[in-house]
Each structure stands twice: as structure tokens, then as C-alpha cells.
């Protein structure tokens, strides 16, 4: 049986993609990679990873995971900055989900910054 593709939408198995970041074996190299790994963390219910990658100035006490929502697909619509040479960047994305058997989607334009050399989520624009 082939390994399951990562929920973030990249063509790699979860263990080799966002799983490495979730386990702390690697850090996101770009703002987009962090955003993708956070989407996957929402899908897998990994609240610890979400909180760890949230900027301290905006971090809530809890990530607010809703077990009734199943995140199913991610579309990255636009990125600005956020590369290995930038200190900040944005990612606009559309996240698809299923809740109580009904399909839905949410769109966000997120801001990311480097903190102590690592990308963190700084909030929605």
C-alpha cells in the first residue's frame, strides 16, 4: 500500500512532507511551506504544532479546532515574499472542508514573519 499523499496538496507522502515539520525534524523553509503545514495540522488536529507556529503576539490560548470539520483540500492562490531570503511574506489561500456532510470553503490572506529565524503565522490581513 502506497503512503498517503500529504493533505497540503504537494505530491509527497505526509511522513516526508508536513510530517517532518510536525514532528520537529525540520522547519518550514518558506512562508508557503509553513502555511501548508498549518493547514495539514488543522486537518490532523495537531493543536500543539499550530500554537508553536503562531506568533506569540497573536497566539490564542487554544487553536479552536472543530472536530466536526474535515479539511479536505488546499489551494494556494497567491504568495508575496516569504522565500528563504525574506523576513516576511503573505499567502492567500482557499481551504476546502466538509462539515456535517456539506462541502464548504474559506479563503484567507495570511501574513507570516520570521521570528528567531523560523517562519510563524502572524495573522490574517
Rounded to two decimals, the pTM is: 0.95
Which cell numbers in the block locate residue 39?
493547514
Half-sphere exposure of 63 (CA within 13 A, CB side): 21
Does pLDDT of 2 surpass 60?
Answer: no
The Cβ of residue 5 has, within 10 Å, a number of other Cβ atoms equal to 13
Quick: pLDDT tens for 39-64. Answer: 999 999 999 999 999 999 999 999 98
Least confident of 2-6, 31-35, 72-76, 77-81: 2-6
pLDDT of res. 3:
64
Give me the domains of the chain, ranges plus CATH numbers. 14-124 (3.10.450.50)
Does pLDDT of 66 surpass 80?
Answer: yes
Q: Is 6 helix (H, G, I), strand (E, B) or coil?
A: coil
- Kindly indicate the confidence band of residue 4, based on its pLDDT and cuts at 50, 70 and 90: confident
Q: Mean pLDDT of all residues in the chain?
A: 96
Amino acid at each position: 500500500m502506497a503512503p498517503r499523499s500529504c493533505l497540503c496538496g504537494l505530491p509527497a507522502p505526509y511522513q516526508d512532507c508536513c510530517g517532518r515539520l510536525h514532528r520537529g525534524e525540520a522547519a518550514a523553509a518558506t512562508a508557503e511551506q509553513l502555511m501548508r503545514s498549518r493547514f495539514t495540522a488543522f486537518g490532523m488536529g495537531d493543536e500543539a504544532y499550530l500554537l508553536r507556529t503562531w506568533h506569540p503576539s497573536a497566539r490564542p490560548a487554544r487553536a479552536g479546532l472543530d472536530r466536526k470539520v474535515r479539511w479536505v483540500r488546499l489551494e494556494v492562490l497567491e504568495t508575496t515574499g516569504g522565500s528563504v531570503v525574506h523576513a516576511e511574506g503573505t499567502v492567500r489561500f482557499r481551504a476546502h472542508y466538509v462539515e456535517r456532510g456539506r462541502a464548504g470553503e474559506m479563503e484567507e490572506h495570511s501574513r507570516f514573519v520570521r521570528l528567531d529565524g523560523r517562519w510563524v503565522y502572524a495573522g490574517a490581513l
